[in-house]
Amino acid sequence: MELVTIKDYAESRHVTYEAVCKQVRQYKKKELKGHLSYQGRLIFLDENAVNFLDQHRMKRNIVLAPTSEEIQKTIKQLQADLHKAMIERDNLKDQIIALQNEKAQLIEYKAQKEQLQLLVDKSQSELQEVRESNKNLTENYYHAKLELETQRTANHVLNDEKAQMQEQMEQVQEELNRYKPTLFGLYRKI
């Protein structure tokens, strides 16, 4: 027959030590008589006492708060996620800049081609080609403007995600600051 301390029992059931002590005091004289062992100030529960307490556990027992290690682990994970998101955002910015440079170079090549075409053709048809070229440049301008707006929107989305992650970090930090140590080495929310 295996004996368990009240502290070990409370930790294994994720309830407070005080709640288990209160429950033991309540049933000590009748139901738990003969199932408790004492060694100095320690009280040990046998298997029957453990089963009885499990069946008669009060619904309002206080659940232990997460440990500072668990909170620190969560914070570190969130920081790592934020760092990854920031790296991904920077990579996307670099890709956008590269695409913008490539687009500018393509536009420059197209403009050079049109200028050479204007020098070669000195006829009346050249005037018509210049008008069509102006139309194409206007369309390219509107397409470039539309793409620039799309890139700005993407940048705003990235900034919003960053702000949300920072807000989550602040919320986690606020939640962490609400826990203060108690007399028994546990933490409780204030």
Q: What is the pLDDT of residues 54-83, one digit of tens each?
A: 888 755 545 566 788 888 999 999 999 999
**Rounded-to-integer distance, Cα 135 and Cα 146, Å:** 17
* Cβ neighbours of 15 (radius 10 Å): 19
pLDDT number for residue 61 = 47
pLDDT number for residue 59 = 54
Q: Whole-prediction pTM value?
A: 0.32
* Cβ neighbours of 63 (radius 10 Å): 10
**Rounded-to-integer distance, Cα 152 and Cα 75, Å:** 31
Q: What is the pLDDT of residues 91-125, one digit of tens each?
A: 999 999 999 999 999 999 999 999 988 888 877 78
pLDDT number for residue 1 = 57
Compute the mean pLDDT over every residue in the chain, rounded to the nearest whole number: 87
Q: What is the pLDDT of residues 154-172, one digit of tens each?
A: 999 999 999 999 999 999 9
